[in-house]
Structure 1
Amino acid sequence: MVDPLLVFQGWLQEAKDAGVREPTAMALATVDAQGAPAVRMVLLKHADERGFVFYTNLESDKGHQLATHARAELCFHWAHFERQVRVHGPVEPVTDAEADAYFASRAHKSKLGAWASQQSRPLESQGKLLKAVAGVALKHPLSVPRPPHWSGFRVVPDWIELWSAGEFRLHDRVRYTRDAEAEGGWAPRRLYP
């Protein structure tokens, strides 16, 4: 039985090995307060049997949207390989320990930016942002703690869809739905492209 997570991890590694720029980039689709779709690119930081993890400012648009409607869809697209992966399911916050560990691994300037950016809010000028970063650097010259408004989310897949291009647009598309009774825990269904 095919494990879609293992296929995903293999495809991601191939993209990394091939030097694809931002191989972990994924479109994140959420729902706004009016029920309309909202999509943007974010970076995958971890994927395992528990789900797909990314980090953000909790006060951003996506943070508010996920707090209100805790479901999302992800889409990875590696044009070089003519492959796409979609992941759909509920979203849960990562633990404080997970967020702390990932934040500690970030570059110093990225940590400063997490404090300085009022993500999704209007910004008068780039200079104002740079001034805010400088202010945070003065306050935290050596060690930068994780801001209380910065953490991560895990998309727990209800289903994972693997798509690869075929000749004459006869693509291969299989959706794996989580099913505890299915062999390997996933029930596959081939879909028309």
Structure 2
Amino acid sequence: MLKKTFAALALSAAVIVPQALAADYVIDKKGQHAFINFKISHLGYSWLYGTFNDFDGTFSYDEAAPEASKVQVTINTASVDSNHAERDKHLRSGDFLNVDKHPQASFVSTGVAMTGEKTADISGDLTLNGVTKPVVIKAALTGMGQDPWGGYRAGFEGTTTLKLKDFDIAMDLGPASQEVQLILSVEGVRQ
């Protein structure tokens, strides 16, 4: 009888514990611990860097079953900032982000495939300039744990490369500038 009770408790713990490890996080936009940056070649001579200053997002992460994780991010495209007001005005125009017609871009994950102990390929649908395409973000767990304010945080970094023409961005910047790299660094606060 005692063996059956222990077996039942062990089975219950095996079922309950992984569920308890799954957690939902809100990206820490308020504390400015998250960034969506980009870089693109400027005529093949140098790199132009920029960021999106206004975005929101959530993710769920389960250490026991990371392939069940989910990500959702919405970017206000008018918040593009390349540290040059005239260039940013051009980036907001119909030549690039077309913010009047498409004020938001979004990413919604469709799957997570682990590629290492702390690395994964996050597949999802990116909507940019009114076009939705599948993309893969190469992601890595930066770290997780208690913060000094009594909360719990998890941080990830990821990269993906986009072809401008795939998202109907027709402005031709020359052969060295056909792709833009997105660099995402997010820290989430567990809810």
Tell me the TM-score normalised to structure 2 length: 0.28
- More strand by percentage: 2
- Say which one has the larger Rg: 2
Tell me the TM-score normalised to structure 1 length: 0.28
